[in-house]
Amino acid sequence: MMQKHDIKLDINGKKYEIAVEPRRTLVDVIRDQCGQTGTHAGCHHGVCGACTILLDDEPVRSCLVFGIQADGKKIRTVEGLAEGNKLHPLQQAFTDHHALQCGYCTPGFLMLAVGILEKDPDISHDDLVSALSSNLCRCTGYANIITAVKAAAEQMRAG
Amino acid sequence: MASKKKLILGERLRRLEDPPLITGQGRFADDINFPHQLHMRIVRSPYAHAEIKSINTESASQIPGVVAIWTHGDISDLGPIDFRADKSAEELKAFRQFCLAKSRVRYVGDPVAAIFAEDPYIAEDAADLIELDVNQLSVISDADQEPGEFDEGLGSEAALLTHTFGDVSPVWDSAYLVVDVDLRTGRHSGVPLETRGAIGVHNKTTDTLELYGAAKIPHRNRDTLVRMLSRPPAKIHLHEGHTGGGFGIRGELYPEDILVLVAAERLGRPVKWIEDRQEHLMAANQGRNQHHLARMAFDQNGQILAMADEFWHDQGGYVRTHGANVPNRTMCMLTGAYKIPAFQAKCHFRLTNKTPAATYRAPGRFESTFVRERIMDIAAEKLGIDRVEIRRRNLIGVDDMPFKIKFNEPGLETLVFDSGDYESLLDKALVHFKWDELQAELNERRAGGELVGCGLGVFVEESGKGPVDGARISVDINGDVEVLTGGASLGQGFETTMAQITAAALGADYNKITVLHGQTDRIPYGIGAHAARATVMTGSAVNITALKVREKALDVAAELLQTTADRLDIENSEVFISDNRNGPSVSLAEIAERLAPGSKNLGGREPNLSAEGFHNTKESAFPYGIHFAVAKVDAETGHIKVERFMVAYDVGRAVNHMLLEGQLVGGCVQGVGGALFEEFSYSETGEPLAVTLADYLLPTMDCAPAIECLVTEDAPSPTNELGIKGGGEGGINGVGAAIAGAVDDAIGQVGAVKELPVTPQRMKVMLNRAG
Ligand code: FES
Ligand code: FES
């Protein structure tokens, strides 16, 4: 067993003090050691984007980061999007526009979109498509995902 | 005023399954854990074909945290993985796969050892230390090369399969035109975003084995496990959680499923296995890999006189659970939507040293439509007949329905195309796509130097193959409705679909309905979700059952409202008198309470507001469709951009248009992947060259075309009461054919596309040949 290091994570405002092996990826730490299984892994290789989270408000692939590198940082995952029973506009738009089928890619797309729209609420269609093209979905054919994100963007701009 | 009942079927209702999935509360395989569980890691062969001399597990077993390491010898009492009950062709049995390779490995990825450890990272460390000593054997890299050896004295051609009707032999010499083609479809697979996973638990209290992570066909797999593990059905249970996409490949019984179960029992602890992506791309079923030499004969008006096809099906290292299902489906569906007097198909069903093949969405149909429609394009060109017109002249007519295809071979099932107006769909689709205007526009663009063109593919799909499925529905005293099915959900919206059917038939409030599926301990039978069966078979069973519950509810309500049942209606879980909507009413909850066991109001009735019902059928429902594509070729890079795509599809009756379009669009984009990017290629020595998602290229948002859907309900299926036909595979069937036609048209060379996917490299070769 490798030596473990004590780290502190802040996931959706909740503090976790845990000991991690240096080789554990952040996605594994979030899921296995913090029990937040909403974040998914589809490849562990940085290709599919299913594991996208916000690390200090930046969309990041959590399979490409070691848990230890997130020490002291602020993590946001899909579990933190809704406020109580009130869905985040992106969550609402995803269900309204049927932007998910199996739902496995959904947390990654939601977090990527949150990251994009928070930074650039007026992003153009082409830039949005190109930014969202970094994540994979095998079920929907994408059309409804882009529709949902644009609908949410409008909603978010309107306040 | 239209009643609610009529409205709810077909409505674009928001999905019942979404809330947990958008909030991170799903329960996918890797989200399932049991106390004290072990983690399994599979050691896989790095050789495509070799004889195993020895497997040294010594140093791996020294790693702290490793609990056990198994090779074939440790589970030699376990037979090979069986075919499903109905597919136990004797001649194929010798080609089945053991859970861990016995004396030979037959593809890169073939499991040779299983490591059980306290932690997945430790199991992976140990796997690196396993030493596999082998004698390498010559590799069979393609199905169409000389057959080789599967085992000592056993050749690699597992079977020579045929499907024929009429007599093709007199036709070739006398026909006005014979078109010959040499076509290939690449190796593709479903590649769901969630890899596979399996968790085995042995409940010692009841001596029951439980498999979590099951999907697609839990009940059928339970039946296979009953045979393989010699346990009674009550002592093996499969549980389906959330499933990250299936597409035909997830949910078949694989070596890993059986290993976790056997290990859970023998090691006395729960065993969890989660596949990594690299494993998935070399271990999960692949498909589509066929080489066709096909021909069709025509008279001078373009009427088809005969079709013949000899093809080689690359089955990979073993014959898995489906037996020879995919080549058989290929042969059945080759003639598609056309009336063809004589037909002869011959398939060389061959083992190679690649990942085993099986069903992938529209199995055998994507391939056969590509072959048939390629020939139609070439024939049109040679005869000087318009591409649409030649197809129209050969379509099976509305008066020919039901249209029977009876094969000469004894024992082959007769196909009965249940209903359809193919020509009317063609007309509607042409108008919707603005086909005529499009031709003018494309001519102009080509004159301006662009390489742009359009193509089409016409096809028949197959769905709802029986024989039977059932359901149990109960309403509790709170009015909550439980719909218990043996169906399965792979992301297609099964729960929503079943709830809509229940709401429509029973009159229950859609939001009070819970749909259960994939739990073999809750219901003893179930057809699962394969080959577009779910909506047709389970949906029909649910409809029948819901109507029974309705009848019982009305019987009680009639007594309470002092009228007769035929004067009553139910909406939003409230029973009222049809011609007095604002008058007295009674809720399903109250009726359930009156029917509770021991209730004074039972009268002679069986307790509970519940029923069980079955849908039996011997016939399949055949939806049909047409795909249109517009594609532009970049002469510099060979890159192909699909500019427009349309799926026209008749489903008989749609339960939820939003979900159906979702299926069509999603399937279509998968088809675009198969037509342009995706391919499992192998080196000559059988090494897989696509083992990450950076090599196996799934379509991304920027290369997915906007897809137009034209869903029609012109030909309800007479095989079930609702008239439903399946929608899962109509989006993908004709994509290869339509894009091939569009590429040909773009470069002005009919018949140029001979192989899918049309990668930029292949496109460049075609352009150079032309240039
Ligand atoms: S799991 Fe991180 S990118 Fe795929
Ligand atoms: S919804 Fe299944 S992968 Fe996107």
Residues B275 and B297 occupy one common structural domain: no
Residues B476 and B581 occupy one common structural domain: yes
Chain A residue closest in CA terms to B706: A143
Residues A98 and A40 occupy one common structural domain: no
Residues B549 and B510 occupy one common structural domain: yes
pLDDT at B3 over 50: no
Q: For residue B294, what are the β-bridge partners?
A: B181, B309
CA dihedral B353, B356, B360, B363 (to 10 degrees): 80
* Token pair of B586 as six digits: 């009674």
Asked if residue B7 belongs to a domain, the reply is: yes
Q: Can you tell me the mean pLDDT for B456-467?
A: 91
Residues B210 and B80 occupy one common structural domain: yes
Asked if residue B160 belongs to a domain, the reply is: no
Residues B126 and B105 occupy one common structural domain: yes
Q: For residue B640, what are the β-bridge partners?
A: B633
Q: What is the mean pLDDT of chain B?
A: 95
Which residues of chain A fall short of a pLDDT of 50?
Answer: none
Contacts of B429 (CB under 8 A, 6+ apart): B435, B626, B628, B646, B648, B710
Residues A10 and A75 occupy one common structural domain: yes
Please state, in angstroms and rounded to a whole number, the distance separating the CA atoms of residues B118 and B35. 11
Global pTM reads 0.96
The side-by-side arrangement of strands in the sheet containing B451-460 is B451-460, B624-633, B640-650, B707-712
CA of B28 to the centre of ligand 2 (A): 13
Residues A15 and A68 occupy one common structural domain: yes
Set of chain B residues whose Cβ sits within 8 Å of the Cβ of A77: 24
E-assigned strand segments in B555-622: 568-571, 574-577, 580-587, 609-616
Q: What DSSP designation does B110 have?
A: -
CATH number of the domain at B80, please. Answer: 3.90.1170.50
* Residue B719, CA atoms < 13 Å, CB-side half-sphere: 33
Residues A67 and A99 occupy one common structural domain: no
CATH number of the domain at A22, please. Answer: 3.10.20.30
Asked if residue B175 belongs to a domain, the reply is: no
**Could you identify the atom of ligand 1 that is nearest to the CA of residue A61?**
2
Length of chain B: 771
E-assigned strand segments in B299-406: 304-314, 343-350, 403-405
How far is the first Cα of chain B from the last one, in angstroms, to the nearest whole number? 65
Q: Can you tell me the mean pLDDT for B254-282?
A: 98
Q: For residue B180, what are the β-bridge partners?
A: B295
Q: Mutate which of A51, A65, A136 to test ligand 1's pocket (most atoms within 8 Å of Cβ)?
A: A51
**Could you identify the atom of ligand 2 that is nearest to the CA of residue A42?**
3
Interchain contact A103–B (C-beta under 8 A): yes
Model confidence over B233-265: pLDDT tens digits? Answer: 999 999 999 999 999 999 999 999 999 999 999
Of the residues A63, A80, A97, the one at which a domain ends? A80
Nearest to B256 by CA among B290, B291, B220, B211: B211
Q: Can you tell me the mean pLDDT for B453-467?
A: 92
Set of chain B residues whose Cβ sits within 8 Å of the Cβ of A37: 24, 26, 28, 30-31
Residues A126 and A64 occupy one common structural domain: no
Of the residues B563, B585, B616, the one at which a domain ends? B616
Q: Are strands B451-460 and A52-55 parallel, antiparallel or unpaired?
A: unpaired
Of the residues B616, B643, B658, the one at which a domain ends? B616
Residues A73 and A137 occupy one common structural domain: no
Q: Hunting for tokens 């992003």 — which residue is that?
A: A123
Please state, in angstroms and rounded to a whole number, the distance separating the CA atoms of residues B747 and B741. 10
Report the Cα B109 to chain-centroid distance in Å.
23
* Token pair of B574 as six digits: 């409230």
CB contact under 8 A, B692 and A139: no
Set of chain B residues whose Cβ sits within 8 Å of the Cβ of A139: 193, 245, 491, 662, 666
Residues B637 and B564 occupy one common structural domain: no
pLDDT of residue B76: 97
pLDDT at B512 over 90: yes
Residues A72 and A43 occupy one common structural domain: yes
A1 or B757, which is more confident? B757
Q: For residue B208, what are the β-bridge partners?
A: B203
The percent of residues above 70 in pLDDT, for chain B, comes to 98
Confidence of residue B5 (pLDDT cuts 50, 70, 90): very low
Please state, in angstroms and rounded to a whole number, the distance separating the CA atoms of residues B315 and B153. 19
Asked if residue B389 belongs to a domain, the reply is: yes
Set of chain A residues whose Cβ sits within 8 Å of the Cβ of B704: 141-143
Nearest to B374 by CA among B314, B459, B463, B288: B459
Measured in angstroms, the CA of A59 and the nearest CA of chain B are apart by 17
Range among B84-88, B247-251, B436-440 rated most confident: B436-440
pLDDT of residue B531: 60
Q: Are strands B640-650 and B707-712 parallel, antiparallel or unpaired?
A: parallel
Domain count of chain A? 2
* Token pair of A86 as six digits: 């009130």
Cβ distance B654 to B723 under 8 Å?
A: no
Cβ distance B520 to B526 under 8 Å?
A: yes
pLDDT at B89 over 80: no
Ligand 2 atom 3, closest CA: A137
Asked if residue B416 belongs to a domain, the reply is: no
DSSP string, B152-190: TTEESEEEEEEEEES--TTHHHH-SEEEEEEEEE--B--
Query: Rounded to 5 degrees, what angle do the CA atoms B364, B737, B289 make?
Result: 40
Measured in angstroms, the CA of A30 and the nearest CA of chain B are apart by 12
**By residue range, what is the domain housing residue A118?**
89-158
Total Cβ atoms within 10 A of residue A63: 23
pLDDT at B491 over 90: no
User: Among A23-27, A152-156, B200-204, B522-526, which stretch is predicted with the lowest mean pLDDT?
Assistant: B522-526
- Which residues 35-64 in chain A show a CB within 8 A of chain B? 36-45, 47-48, 50
Chain A residue closest in CA terms to B242: A102
The answer to whether ipTM exceeds 0.90 is yes
Of the residues B585, B616, B647, the one at which a domain ends? B616
Please state, in angstroms and rounded to a whole number, the distance separating the CA atoms of residues B297 and B300. 10
pLDDT at B769 over 80: yes
State whether the beta carbon of A43 lies less than 6 angstroms from ligand 2: no
CA dihedral B150, B154, B157, B159 (to 10 degrees): -130
Instruction: Indicate which ligand has the atom closest to the C-alpha of A104.
Output: 2
B215 or B612, which is more confident? B612
Residues A66 and A104 occupy one common structural domain: no
Residues A75 and A98 occupy one common structural domain: no
State whether the beta carbon of A48 lies less than 6 angstroms from ligand 2: no
Residues B585 and B633 occupy one common structural domain: no
CATH number of the domain at A139, please. Answer: 1.10.150.120
Residues B554 and B666 occupy one common structural domain: no
Phi, psi dihedrals of residue B44, rounded to the nearest 5°: -115, 150
pLDDT of residue B55: 98
Residues A94 and A135 occupy one common structural domain: yes
**By residue range, what is the domain housing residue B560?**
2-26+465-616
Confidence of residue B396 (pLDDT cuts 50, 70, 90): very high
Residues B596 and B710 occupy one common structural domain: no
State whether the beta carbon of B491 lies less than 6 angstroms from ligand 2: yes
pLDDT of residue B29: 97
B738, containing H or E segment: helix B735-747
* Helix, strand or coil, per DSSP, at residue B731: coil
The beta-carbon neighbor of B28 closest among A24, A100, A104 is A104
Confidence of residue B4 (pLDDT cuts 50, 70, 90): very low
E-assigned strand segments in B415-467: 415-417, 451-460
Q: Hunting for tokens 């399946």 — which residue is that?
A: B726
Distance (Å) of CA B374 to CA A74, B260, B755: 56, 45, 11
Asked if residue B337 belongs to a domain, the reply is: yes
pLDDT of residue B1: 36
CA of B678 to the centre of ligand 2 (A): 18
Model confidence over B712-745: pLDDT tens digits? Answer: 999 999 999 999 999 999 999 999 999 999 999 9
Report the Cα B52 to chain-centroid distance in Å.
35
Find the residues whose C-beta lies inside 6 A of ligand 1.
Answer: A 41-51, 61, 63
State whether the beta carbon of A92 lies less than 6 angstroms from ligand 2: no
Residues B126 and B275 occupy one common structural domain: yes
Of the residues A80, A110, A145, the one at which a domain ends? A80
* Token pair of B217 as six digits: 């066909």
Model confidence over A42-52: pLDDT tens digits? Answer: 999 999 999 99
Asked if residue B176 belongs to a domain, the reply is: no
Give the mutation candidate from A37, A102, A149 for the B interface (greatest B CB count, under 10 A).
A102
pLDDT of residue B84: 81
pLDDT of residue B673: 98
CATH number of the domain at B372, please. Answer: 3.30.365.10
- Which alpha helices (H) appear in B580-643, and where do they start and end? 588-594
* Helix, strand or coil, per DSSP, at residue B196: coil
State whether the beta carbon of A142 lies less than 6 angstroms from ligand 2: no
Domain count of chain B? 3
pLDDT of residue B554: 97
CB contact under 8 A, A102 and B194: yes
Residues B554 and B680 occupy one common structural domain: no
Q: Mutate which of A132, A137, A146 to test ligand 2's pocket (most atoms within 8 Å of Cβ)?
A: A137
Give the mutation candidate from A12, A139, A147 for the B interface (greatest B CB count, under 10 A).
A139
Please state, in angstroms and rounded to a whole number, the distance separating the CA atoms of residues B374 and B637. 24
pLDDT of residue B2: 37
Asked if residue B156 belongs to a domain, the reply is: no
Residues A72 and A99 occupy one common structural domain: no
Residues B491 and B521 occupy one common structural domain: yes
Confidence of residue B535 (pLDDT cuts 50, 70, 90): confident
Set of chain B residues whose Cβ sits within 8 Å of the Cβ of A133: 700-702
